[in-house]
Amino acid sequence: AQSVTQLDSQVPVFEEAPVELRCNYSSSVSVYLFWYVQYPNQGLQLLLKYLSGSTLVKGINGFEAEFNKSQTSFHLRKPSVHISDTAEYFCAVSEIGGQTGANNLFFGTGTRLTVIP
Amino acid sequence: ETGVTQTPRHLVMGMTNKKSLKCEQHLGHNAMYWYKQSAKKPLELMFVYNFKEQTENNSVPSRFSPECPNSSHLFLHLHTLQPEDSALYLCASSQLTGNSPLHFGNGTRLTVT
């Protein structure tokens, strides 16, 4: 069975500092990986996704994530955060060859990133 | 503009009321979903519609009743809710391919008094 673990429920960081949000998953098969961001009073928005190819994936707003198959991780990073990055970040996993659509998409519990001026 | 529009944005209702949440997507997707988002919990997938046909009901109480009249519209009818049903209800849509990401609306913040 799939599971997604986001160990850090809250991450405070000063403006212009680097940040890493951790995501680990467990699955018996190959997976697609996603990061979503949720700004206050909004729905989730796709930040980036890993489907195949290069393990370093670049997304919107200067974020990037690296897929590490041996460590079953997909950590999200940004070298310098802005106040506007304050939001909730969700890691999600779907199994390749599994059901299509949301039936096959498993979310972590989220990490709240707070950027301190 | 996310391409997925939900109304209303906020809803306060008593336990004896009947209300409906509405979702509309303008992305040409063929699958639509209802999620419940509660504090400190993972997103809960409630209902799945593929090509207007309901394919999943994840043990959701019958006081929640979905309706999908066409592939662009999705409703969630609410009646005799409980205070623990207070949450953010998110609608999403996608194409039916394995790597297709979900597109979410901004949600309806529901408070049951």
- A85-116 residue pLDDT tens: 999 999 999 888 776 667 678 899 999 999 99
- A10-38 residue pLDDT tens: 999 999 999 999 999 998 888 899 999 99
CB contact, 8 Å: A108 with chain B? Answer: yes
Neighbouring CB atoms inside 10 A of A45's CB total: 18
- B89-108 residue pLDDT tens: 999 999 887 678 899 999 99
pLDDT at residue A100 in the model = 65
Nearest to A89 by CA among A36, A42, A16: A36
Q: For chain B, what is the HEC assignment? A: CCCEEEECCEEEECCCCEEEEEEEECCCCCEEEEEEECCCCCCEEEEEEECCEEEEECCCCCCEEEEEEECCEEEEEEECCCHHHCEEEEEEEECCCCCCCCEECCCEEEEEC
CB contact, 8 Å: B90 with chain A? Answer: yes
pLDDT at residue B106 in the model = 95
- A33-45 residue pLDDT tens: 999 999 988 999 9
Cβ pair B33:A101 closer than 8 A: yes
Q: For Cα atoms B66, B101, A23, give the angle at the middle one, nearest 5 degrees.
A: 110
Q: Kindly report the nearest CA distance between residue B14 and chain A, in angstroms.
A: 23
Residue A69 DSSP symbol: T
Rounded to whole angstroms, how far apart are CA atoms B48 and B1? 23
pLDDT at residue B1 in the model = 52
B100: chain A residues, CB-CB within 8 Å: 100-101
